[in-house]
Structure 1
């Protein structure tokens, strides 16, 4: 492998955004894109009211059901790095797509809903990450709502 190719590979970081359904993966992905400068307005994933919007949940079935059916790939630049975000389906019916994505990521960002805590799909995804030695970043979402004690969620 050439030195130039190695340098290009070292400049890329790929994160799989994973969780159980309705934990807020797509919304978190959008916020990361917003703060990374890739989109210009919050709400663009769902409303598409800007010309510079994310391309997550673009299929009609995804918009009708309010869930991701396939993995969406989005990116932004941060410092000297290219950050790739893979917004995966949370629903169990589409989990094979998520499992495949986990073979190609540097880390997984596990989103957990503060009100629901750790669910069966959360546990399954954690097991897959551990089996593949994929580092996991845990993000507890929806802390602005009534919910469980975040330390209890982490203990689970």
Structure 2
């Protein structure tokens, strides 16, 4: 795994891990947690209950416009960890914008650790080390550490 293809930020929120996890496991709530402002809404799927579950989100980014991403849950431990791997949905639907490259192979992950005061230490990881198409690497990273920190703050607000 290449450390130069991973962003990781941490912060503490004033809510227990179970409340934070419930929000992360419900893709319908993801738009209010998105510090990057790309997530528009749930198209299908959710709530998440296990590795292998899938959901499709409506998205929008400057330079790309509206599109959809299908995410498969790759890690799931209730109250502790959740991660998903997004891919363009349907495959190839952004070829007119990004060309014939395959940008899949990245994950968004969350780890939750209870704190002594009843809050949660949140670690948010964005990992694109699994992107195999060298031509797609110029698209990454899609989010910044600041946007990821904003997502942690939004998670804390929503979990109150």
Structure-1-length-normalised TM-score: 0.34
Q: Name which structure has the greater RCO, CA cutoff 8 Å, separation 6+.
A: 2
The structure whose residues are more often helix, as a share, is 1
Structure-2-length-normalised TM-score: 0.34
